[in-house]
Amino acid sequence: MLTRTPPKSSRSRARAIRHFLDIDQIPAGELRRIVDMGHAMKKAGKRVPKALRPKGIADAVLVMIFEKPSTRTRVSFDVAMRQLGGESIPLNHSDLQTNRGEPISDTARVLSRYVDAIMLRANKHETLLEYAKYATIPVINGLTDMSHPCQVIADIMTYEETHGPIKGGKVAWVGDGNNVAVSWMHAAVRFGFELRLACPPQLNPDAKVLEWARAEGGRVTLTDDAAEAVKGTDCVVTDTWVSMGQSDEKRRKQLLSPYAVDDDLMKRAAKGAIFMHCLPAYRGLEVSASVLDGPQSVVFDEAENRLHAQKAILAWCLGA
């Protein structure tokens, strides 16, 4: 008699799937563990010790799907998989049948039969949630229009390298209330630090996220005054004024010009304050060249930390 063997994906998934969708969806203790793993991964270097590798990584494959361009996310996830001992397949959305109308629900179930995790950079956050709904393997948010949680895990690592544990720290976000700002808001609540956002009112972050942060007891404030927000903070963060997929470039540049981070603004921060930017950066727009390339800037450590953070996120999703 023939007996049906359950598919690999369902047989090996006795515990809940560990998706990495957003920082607000993950308990504080697990997030702390991911950041600590990131620090340990960095210390360990290219050869990740067995203790930090998830079980079965030697046979593991990550598929990466990009609906938008990427330098850091694409390369750091690929290298992270190799250094952990697994492999990755990078795909542009245009290479997939979803581009010709195949439903995400089918695509997610098919990919779940081949590979061990999916990393997705999507135009719309709903696409990410649809993948997570139907995949029987972990799905990782590699940036959507709503959030960029992998970036902020690397940013927290970077903060901690100069200032120690971020709990109780003071961070200023200056500029567009965009996807990266939303992940910073989630992180302020889960990691317990003060976040002061300074945005033009027309480009404030999603009001629901602000409400959530306040309801959770987070110290997240919003003003339109960049100088006031930055005063006494340990870390000033900004991002491009025109995110991928946005078309109203002229209007955004007009609204955001008072929010450029320059030497005068950095002087208002605390002594020893750092400057962060997820990159790509546009010198002379959201940040002056003197700040981006100056002594307070940690942007290249931040970019490097994407690799170490990615290894930690992958290890966590795959069971470490």
The residues annotated as belonging to the active site are 121, 148, 151, 239, 278, 306
Which partner, ligand NVA, ligand CP, none, binds residue 296 by CB below 5 to 8 Å per kind? none
Is residue 143 part of the contact set for ligand CP (CB under 6 A)? yes
Radius of gyration of the chain (CA): 20
Minimum Å distance from CB 145 to ligand NVA? 7
Helix or strand holding residue 91 (H, E): strand 87-92
Q: Looking at beta carbons only, is 218 or 239 nearer to ligand CP?
A: 239
Site for ligand CP in 244-303 (CB under 6 A): 278-279
Tell me which amino acid residue 61 is. V
One DSSP character per residue, 119-182 reads EEE-SSHHHHHHHHHH-SS-EEE---SS--HHHHHHHHHHHHHHHS--TT-EEEEES---HHHH
Residue 225's φ and ψ, nearest 5 degrees, are -110, 105
Minimum Å distance from CB 305 to ligand CP? 11
Site for ligand NVA in 129-148 (CB under 6 A): 143
Is residue 285 part of the contact set for ligand NVA (CB under 6 A)? no
In 3D, which of 316, 235, 230, 320 has the Cα closest to residue 277? 235
Tell me which amino acid residue 299 is. V
Helices and strands, number each (H, E), in the chain: 13, 9
**What Cα–Cα distance (Å) separates residue 218 from each residue in 20, 215, 236?**
21, 7, 19
Is residue 72 part of the contact set for ligand CP (CB under 6 A)? yes
Which partner, ligand CP, ligand NVA, none, binds residue 270 by CB below 5 to 8 Å per kind? none
When binding is defined by CB under 6 A, the residue of 73, 83, 112, 297 that contacts ligand CP is 73
CA distance linking residue 95 with residue 110, whole number of Å: 15
Is residue 105 part of the contact set for ligand CP (CB under 6 A)? no
Q: Residue with the closest Cβ to ligand CP?
A: 73
Minimum Å distance from CB 195 to ligand CP? 19
| Residue ranges that bind ligand CP, judged by CB under 6 A | 70-73, 143, 151, 278-279
| Residue ranges that bind ligand NVA, judged by CB under 6 A | 143, 178-180, 239-240, 243-244, 278
